[in-house]
């Protein structure tokens, strides 16, 4: 198993195809943003972290300046976290989160943030509920923080 940045891949078309296989609306949206080269318009500077085994995509997430909570001074954000159903229950989300956190720390961040409506998922990885904020659609979202 390895984790690498989509933007550093030599085979972006393959990984785009793999992302499109996700059964989640946000996976479709990420696929669109990458295909149309619009991710940075939404979230600023970003990495798309791919957790792979050979040519198979097991899961992915982003590490970006912004997420769907805008405007805010909070940064950076982990977003689009997804593990394919056949690979769930193996704590792979934790591997992606740890990798993104390490990169954020290398970049000088003191904390990372997550916008979600899940309760109980991120807490087991050391995240704490910070507050509720409205996302770019005006819908309430729970904001979590983890100090690095």
Give the pLDDT score at 122: 95
Where exactly are the structural domains of the chain? 2-147
Give the pLDDT score at 130: 97
- Asked whether the bond before 141 is cis by omega within 30 degrees of 0, the reply is no
Tokens matching residue 5: 């940045």
Nearest to 60 by CA among 15, 115, 120: 15
What's the whole-number mean pLDDT along residues 10-28?
95
Q: How confident is the model at residue 6 (pLDDT cuts 50, 70, 90)?
A: very high
Give the pLDDT score at 90: 95
Fold type of domain 2-147:
Aminopeptidase (3.40.630)
């Amino acid at each position: 198993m390895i984790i690498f940045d989509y933007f550093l891949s030599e085979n972006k078309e393959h990984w785009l195809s793999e992302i499109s296989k996700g059964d989640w609306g946000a996976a479709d949206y990420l696929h669109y943003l990458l295909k149309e080269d619009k991710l940075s318009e939404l979230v600023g500077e970003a990495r798309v972290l791919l957790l792979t085994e050979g040519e198979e995509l097991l899961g992915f997430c982003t590490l970006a300046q912004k997420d769907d909570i805008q405007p805010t001074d909070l940064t950076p954000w982990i977003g689009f976290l997804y593990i394919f159903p056949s690979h769930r229950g193996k704590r792979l989300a934790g591997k992606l989160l740890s990798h993104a956190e390490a990169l954020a720390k290398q970049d000088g961040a003191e904390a990372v943030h997550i916008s979600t409506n899940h309760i109980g998922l991120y807490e087991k990885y050391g995240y704490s509920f910070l507050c509720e904020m409205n996302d770019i659609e005006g819908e309430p979202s729970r904001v979590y923080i983890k100090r690095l």
